[in-house]
Structure 1
Amino acid sequence: MTVISVAALVVQLMSAGGAGAQGEQAAGRERGDPGSVSTNLSALKSEVTSLSERFKAARERRRLQAEQEKQEWEREPKTPASPGRE
């Protein structure tokens, strides 16, 4: 599993209340309601997709920023060497 998948899984588990969840979600698990499993799985898949897209966008922004910084550095005038040292 990738880091993003693990993070999405942890978020999903935390939002579901974990193993000791009470109420409607716990009752659904006790009954073995297959609808809640597929609903949770599809929600998890969409969350992983969303996180993956956000990660790719952030990586692309960082790449563009690094490229821009490199171009700015290359355009800066270079300081000449000291006159006494050749």
Structure 2
Amino acid sequence: MTVMTVAALVVQLMSAGGAGAQGEQAAGRQQGDPGSISTNLSALKGEVSSLSERFKAARERRRLQAEKEKQEWEREPKAPAGPRRE
């Protein structure tokens, strides 16, 4: 979960101009518009929860697929051990 949070934060910072942005975006950040901060924070929380849900769903799909493959492998008939030739 921590990796997903950091990734979402990096994406949000990059799309907002991030550190070292020039021009109007930098000037807007210096003014400190508190409304945009709370809006961005809410959007970021929404993205993180959405990514978290997608990650959980993907992990569950992988788990179910692995379980299915394991059951199929266990059902396959094993080749009988024949006489050894030397």
TM-score bracket, shorter-length normalisation: 0.7 to 0.9
Q: Which runs of 5+ in 2 are unaligned?
A: none
Q: After the TM superposition, which residues 4-83 of structure 1 pair with which residues of structure 2 at under 5 Å, given as runs?
A: 4-21=4-21, 22-23=23-24, 25-83=25-83
Q: How far apart, in 1, do the equivalents of 2:19 and 2:3 lie?
A: 22
Q: Which runs of 5+ in 1 are unaligned?
A: none
Q: How far apart, in 1, do the equivalents of 2:26 and 2:37 lie?
A: 12
What is the letter of the counterpart of residue 78 of structure 1? K
Q: How far apart, in 2, do the equivalents of 1:48 and 1:11 lie?
A: 11
**Under a length normalisation based on structure 2, what TM-score does the superposition of the two structures give?**
0.88
Runs of 4+ in 1 over 6 A off after TM superposition: none
- Residue 32 of structure 1 deviates from its aligned partner by 1.1
- Give identity over the alignment, percent: 85
**Alignment size in residue pairs:** 84
Give RMSD over aligned pairs.
1.7
Q: Does the 8 A contact of 1:8 with 1:48 survive in 2?
A: yes
